[in-house]
Amino acid sequence: MIVGHTKFSPDAHFGMIKKKLQQAKCQSICDLIGENGLIQASPSSNRAICYKEFNSQIPNFRWYDWKAFIADKFKDLNKKLKGLSTWHVIKIGNESNFIEVAEAIGKPFREINVLNDFMIFNAEESPKMLDPTGISSNRLQELAYFEQFVDHNHKKFLSGNY
């Protein structure tokens, strides 16, 4: 974002949620996004989707390893994208290995080759699905301290991988 213009509309939502959390008795993820949770009870346009269903533990969506999937298709972008924070205009063409970048509207564009030569995307390929490992044993030990502050119905959310 352009320096001095870093206010972002979702920031207001985070502030509102933080204020509601301070006022509500929210002891677990269930109180936050469960059926009668704080977010579900807010305006009708909000719908919280938890990674796993609370009772069945069935995932609602999957994560994919996109970084590994596209890594061989692009040049070493750590070197190619130097100065990224100064670009405020980026053009991506349809059939080119290049992107065009400029520091501001009206400034000259320069081309950067981002794709490896002879790179072909195969529509049959797909990224590897990732299984989140959940909370580490060290983190579970840290969370055990908070069990004294949580009522009985919410303790399972501190010791399980929800």
The per-residue pLDDT for range 77-109, each reduced to its tens digit, is 666 667 777 888 888 877 677 888 888 889 999
Predicted pLDDT at 78:
65
Q: What angle do CA 159, 160, 162 make, to 5 degrees?
A: 130
Q: pTM for the full model?
A: 0.46
Count of CB atoms situated within 10 Å of the CB of 58: 7
Percent of the chain with pLDDT over 70: 78
Checking if the pLDDT of 65 tops 60, the result is yes
The per-residue pLDDT for range 1-31, each reduced to its tens digit, is 556 556 667 777 777 777 877 787 777 777 7
Question: What does pLDDT average to over the chain?
Answer: 76
Q: Which long-range contacts (CB under 8 A, 24 or more apart) does 67-75 make?
A: 68/127, 68/128, 69/125, 69/126, 69/127, 69/128, 72/116, 73/115, 73/116, 73/119, 73/121, 74/114, 74/115, 74/116, 74/119, 75/113, 75/114, 75/115, 75/116
